[in-house]
Structure 1
Amino acid sequence: MSDFIMADAPVDISALRRALMVPEAGGFCSFEGWVRETNEGQTVSGIDYNAVVPLALTEGQAIVQEVKQRFAICRATAMHRTGYLPVGETAVWIGVSAAHRDAAFSACRYIIDEIKQRVPIWKKEHYASGEVGWVPCHTL
């Protein structure tokens, strides 16, 4: 299994977490990003995540490889969904195991920040009003 997953259907997060549990790890840190019901004053009914999947996989895998070189971690995995997700659905999940908590926290934060900046994923919000709007995901 790749360390970076693009999924068009729900993923078993507990299986991803179990794969990070190794004897040398003393700590685990994870981040889950969910579709929330409001954004900038509008009621959101769901988000459509679009990606250039081959490029997203390549860049996401590069990010996870970077984190393994930059931080003293045991393992790391990240997953991002594509397609339409209703409010409450998990859109992104990151897990990191390490001997010590500081490395796990730092690596987890690095991964989400880099995904938001570098991975070609765009989101189109669907509002309760029936309107839709593209939301900027990347900072240049």
Structure 2
Amino acid sequence: MFRKLVLGTSTVFALWTALDFIFHGVVLADYMKETAHLWRPENESKMILNSAVVLIASLAFTLIYALLINPKGLRFGLLFGTFFGLAMGMVSGYGSYAFMPVPYFMALIWFLNGLVQGVCAGVAVGMLIQDD
């Protein structure tokens, strides 16, 4: 089981990191520049902290699936990931929009990013961690 947890956590971490780059670095690139006054300058960014946060969240996601979701498999991984992503997307997208002066499009993309990340992570752990 330890090997599956490490593989699941690593896969979720890689997926979330790649999707964050796509959504923030590509889809929202112009909006990030437009709202630059809201973010730390690049030389003050805490990228190591961000990576640690994503790694811990990836571990938590994988552990919740491995320890609490039964039966295990693609179907239940997808369901878990969808609900997790819906919650994550609501908090990061619309929760932030409620308090930050960002364009609505950013909030929508943050919501969709959370949802897509949850679905992709759910599919990944559902395929990697199955009932024996």
TM-score, normalisation: structure 1: 0.31
TM-score, normalisation: structure 2: 0.32
Give the structure with the higher percent strand.
Answer: 1
Give the structure with the higher percent helix.
Answer: 2
